[in-house]
C-alpha cells in the first residue's frame, strides 16, 4: 500500500506507490520528455546541442540532464550532448564523475586506507611493547 505524501513538485497530496511525484506532475514530466525525444529523434536535430534543444522544446537543461542520467536519452546517437560532472561541473558524456574527480576520490580513498593500515601497525607495535614489559 502506498504512503500519503505531498508532491515535491506541486505540493498536492497524493498516494505514493511507485513514483515520487503526483500523477499530474508525472504526466507533465512525460510530456516534456516526449518533446525532447521527438525533437532529437529527427536526424536533422541529432547534431544539436542541449542548449539548442532547450530553446526548441522549452524543456530545461536540468530536465534533459536528468533524462540522460536516467538512461532515457542515449548519447551514442547525440554527439554534441554532454552533462556536468557531479564533482566539478566539467562536461562529460558517461558516468557521474569526470576522470579527474574519479582519480581524486580514488587517491583520497587509497591515502585513507594507508593511514588506517599505518595506525593499525602503530597500535599493534604499542601492544607488543606493552606485553614485553609484563
> What's the confidence (pLDDT) of residue 130?
56
Lowest mean pLDDT among 5-19, 76-90, 111-125: 111-125
Q: Count the Cβ atoms, other than its own, within 10 Å of residue 109.
A: 10
First to last CA, the chain: 64
Give the pLDDT band of residue 134 (cuts 50, 70, 90). Answer: low
What is the model's pTM?
0.73
Amino acid at each position: 500500500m502506498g504512503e500519503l505524501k505531498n508532491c515535491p513538485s506541486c505540493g498536492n497530496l497524493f498516494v505514493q506507490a511507485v513514483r515520487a511525484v503526483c500523477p499530474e506532475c508525472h504526466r507533465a514530466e512525460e510530456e516534456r520528455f516526449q518533446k525532447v525525444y521527438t525533437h532529437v529523434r529527427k536526424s536533422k536535430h541529432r547534431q544539436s546541442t542541449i542548449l539548442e534543444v532547450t530553446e526548441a522544446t522549452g524543456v530545461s537543461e536540468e530536465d534533459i540532464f536528468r533524462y540522460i542520467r536516467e538512461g532515457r536519452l542515449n548519447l551514442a546517437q547525440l554527439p554534441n550532448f554532454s552533462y556536468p560532472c557531479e564533482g566539478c561541473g566539467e562536461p562529460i558524456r558517461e558516468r557521474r564523475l569526470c576522470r579527474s574527480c574519479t582519480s581524486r576520490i580514488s587517491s583520497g580513498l587509497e591515502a585513507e586506507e594507508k593511514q588506517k593500515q599505518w595506525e593499525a601497525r602503530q597500535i599493534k607495535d604499542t601492544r607488543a611493547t606493552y606485553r614485553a614489559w609484563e
